[in-house]
Structure 1
Amino acid sequence: MKFFAVLASLVAVASAQSVSFTTPRSGGTLTRGAPTTIVVQRPVTSTPVQSVSIVISLDACTGSSCPNPSSALGTILFAGPFTPAGSPPSQSFNVTIPTTFPAGEAEILATHFSLTGTGPTASTEIDGEIIFVR
């Protein structure tokens, strides 16, 4: 019984800090050399979460797959504080895709570092969306 209580609390903590892109959506298109706004959202949760930082990056996909984000993040578009506000909490980032970035399918990644729970516990997570770069 104790095992299930611990498992349930771990699942709650893991989902508490989960971030996602609201812009761009999967399948969207970004243009090289043009300013664009990226919006990252964190869900409302009953578990205390202190967002510390975020890295937004872009990695080109080759062939039929995209690189594993745990081995390399690709081109860094933003690295700095993550201070989401509003309900649900979100933050906008104005970035420009480098003109040298290859056209075609790519994965945009949000690597989020947060402190979770009353302990707190350090958490890092990566969320990605497959997009197209032109």
Structure 2
Amino acid sequence: MAVRWLNKLMMRRVLRKGGGKMLGGLDALVLTTLGSKSGRPRRSPVCWFPGEDGSWVIAASANGAAKNPAWYFNLAAHPREASITVDGETVPVVAEQLHGEERERVWRGIAERSARFAQYQQKTDRELPVVRLTRRTT
């Protein structure tokens, strides 16, 4: 219950400021996905890191929980039906989960930028999924 309340508070903060920061100073965006089962829009505040070619990189850390966050399953089910609100702009995006060497390289960059994210990986047995969001053109 507290997590939902905090998520709502963070979404308002990110949307109101047009580009916001999460607690701890990390860049934040609002991710809008379609529910994997319901097909209804779902919004989640998410920390993001700059990716190559102007993309946004997010990690399904769930603060190091044993399970992936719901938004991860929504993106997996509907990778072309997502959008982000960042810097006051809503951008339609395509989600691509990274694997292998590319995932490891990008994850190292995330862990170097945020000790907190490095700790999330240490708290769980699962490999934290790393997802690249790129602007959808069609």
- Give the structure-2-normalised TM-score: 0.27
- Tell me which of the two structures has the higher relative contact order, counting C-alpha pairs closer than 8 angstroms and 6 or more residues apart: 1
Higher share in helix: 2
TM-score by length of 1: 0.27
Rg larger in structure: 1
